[in-house]
Amino acid sequence: MEHPDSSAPLLAGTCLAFTPVSAQRRRAGGWTPEIQLCFIRALEAMGSVGRAAKAVGMGRRSAYRLRERPGAEDFAAAWDRALSMGRMRQFDYAMDRALNGVTTVRILRGGAIGVTGGPDMDIVRASLREDAAPLKATKDTF
C-alpha cells in the first residue's frame, strides 16, 4: 500500500473518512496511517474491536490507547461509525441465517452423509443480545 500524506483524510469520499492519528514516535509495527485505515475497514466489516485489531496485527488495548490520544477525535468518530456499521452487518447476517436456515453436511463413519438444516440459533441469540444492548464505543462486546 502507498504511504499517504498523514494529513490527508483516509477513506476520503466515504462516511468513514478520517484524518489519521499522528505518530508520537516512529517504530516498526506501530499504528501507521495504513494500519489505521485497515483497522477502520476491518471494524466496518467485522463489528468487533478485538477481531479488527487482530486482523491488522495489533492488540485491542493498543487500539483503545490510540483512540484516547490527543488529536484522535476524527479517528474515534470514524471508529464509532465503522463499529455501528459492522454490528448492523453482523445483525443482518444473523437474521438471514435465522430466516433462511443453515445447511450442515457431515460425512459420517462408513461414508454415510448426514445433512441437517435449520436456523443457527447461537448466532441469532448473540445478534439479538447485541442489538438490545446500547452500543458503547469504549467496550467491545461482540
DSSP 102: E
Q: Rounded mean pLDDT of 110-133?
A: 72
Q: Give the residue, 78 or 128, on which the prediction is more confident.
A: 78
How far apart are alpha carbons 72 and 111 in whole angstroms? 57
Q: Which residues of 10-42 are buried (b: 16+ CB within 10 A; e: fewer)?
A: bbeeeebbbbbbeeeeeeeeebbbebbbbbbbb
The verdict on pTM exceeding 0.75 is no
Handedness of CA 56, 59, 60, 62 (dihedral sign): negative
Report percent pLDDT > 70 for the chain.
Answer: 83
Q: Which domains does the chain have, with CATH numbers?
A: 33-132 (1.10.10)
